[in-house]
């Protein structure tokens, strides 16, 4: 009597290979989709969306919010980040962002001066060089033919200096005189205007913490008048010290600053 062999189970080959690569593939597709959405959003830039994108990028890269008074939303975009993100933006778009930064800086200075009832003592202007904070009428800040700060001058500078100190901008303090000839002890108006600019610089550095490496002083004498003519009002306008916050943008961007500011109702 023959014995029957018990049937052996047949092994069915696995028809489902390892599919873990699908997870990585899906992650890559998701990242690409986000990239194209950002590129599409950037292709139709307007002022508000551009500023929102800049603030979002700053936050994403770990930028810290400014510790000074700031009326703008978001955070201040560091200069280094501005340079990294400049690729792909037109000069007009970069000029709009720069005007927004300078306008925010001007607003901070206004608020600080208003808190001390000193807003009348300065004027603001945006040129292709940057933001000009003009100390109007030398008699407000100096005695006749003297370079020592007097009256409200220290208070005005104490409002301006703390706003400028934490910024990355370089600053030029520029002294000016009217067209009348200088008198003793100054041989020329260059010495007088240089001395007054240096007095303002020293106060900003020694009392307000502006970095010495970022600031300089120069005297132009009567060579760069703000107003033509010889009336008392025009002469007073030419006796001034300008604190110029210098834009670090390329020449083609800076050439657009004043026009963009006028278009958007910015600084001034």
Which range has the worst mean pLDDT, 66-75, 215-224, 248-257? Answer: 66-75
Alpha-carbon distance 92 to 183, whole Å?
Answer: 47
**Predicted pLDDT of residue 199:** 96
Burial class (CB in 10 A: 0-12, 13-18, 19+), 219: buried
Identify the residue whose tokens are 């959405």: 37
For the chain, the domains span 49-264
Per-residue pLDDT tens over the stretch 1-39: 455 555 555 555 555 556 666 666 677 777 777 777 767
Is residue 218 a contact partner of residue 197, using CB atoms and an 8 Å limit? yes
Q: Is the domain covering 49-264 a CATH 3.30.1330.60 domain?
A: yes
What ranges in 62-131 are assigned the alpha helix state H?
Answer: 79-85, 91-114
Whether the pTM exceeds 0.85: the reply is no
Identify the residue whose tokens are 């690569």: 21
Are β-strands 130-135 and 122-127 bridged in parallel, bridged antiparallel, or unpaired? Answer: antiparallel
pLDDT over 70 percentage in the chain: 71
Per-residue pLDDT tens over the stretch 40-49: 666 655 555 5
- In this structure, how many other beta carbons lie within 10 angstroms of the beta carbon of residue 60? 8
pLDDT over 90 percentage in the chain: 50
Per-residue pLDDT tens over the stretch 77-118: 455 445 545 567 899 999 999 999 999 999 999 999 999 999
């Amino acid at each position: 009597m023959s014995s029957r062999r018990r049937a052996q189970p047949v092994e069915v080959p696995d028809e489902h290979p390892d599919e873990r690569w699908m997870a990585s593939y899906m992650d890559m597709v998701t990242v690409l989709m986000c990239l194209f959405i950002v590129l599409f959003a950037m292709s139709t830039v307007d002022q508000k969306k551009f500023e929102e994108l800049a603030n979002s990028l700053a936050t994403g890269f770990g930028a810290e919010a400014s510790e000074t008074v700031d009326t703008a939303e978001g955070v201040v975009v560091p200069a280094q980040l501005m340079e990294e993100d400049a690729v792909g933006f037109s000069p007009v778009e970069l000029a709009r962002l720069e005007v927004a930064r300078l306008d925010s800086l001007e607003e901070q200075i206004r608020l600080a001066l208003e808190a001390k009832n000193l807003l009348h003592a300065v004027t603001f202007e945006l040129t292709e060089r940057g933001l000009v904070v003009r100390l109007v009428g030398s008699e407000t800040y100096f005695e006749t033919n003297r370079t020592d700060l007097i009256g409200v001058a220290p208070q005005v500078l104490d409002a301006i200096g703390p706003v400028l100190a934490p910024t990355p901008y370089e600053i030029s303090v520029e002294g000016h005189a009217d067209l009348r000839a200088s008198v003793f002890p100054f041989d020329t108006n260059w010495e007088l205007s240089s001395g007054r600019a240096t007095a303002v610089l020293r106060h900003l550095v020694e009392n307000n913490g502006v970095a010495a490496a970022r600031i300089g002083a120069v005297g132009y004498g009567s060579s760069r008048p703000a107003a033509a003519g010889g009336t008392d009002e025009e002469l007073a306008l030419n006796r001034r010290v300008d604190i110029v916050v210098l834009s670090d943008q390329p020449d083609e961007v800076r050439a657009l600053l004043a026009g963009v500011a006028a278009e958007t109702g910015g600084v001034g």
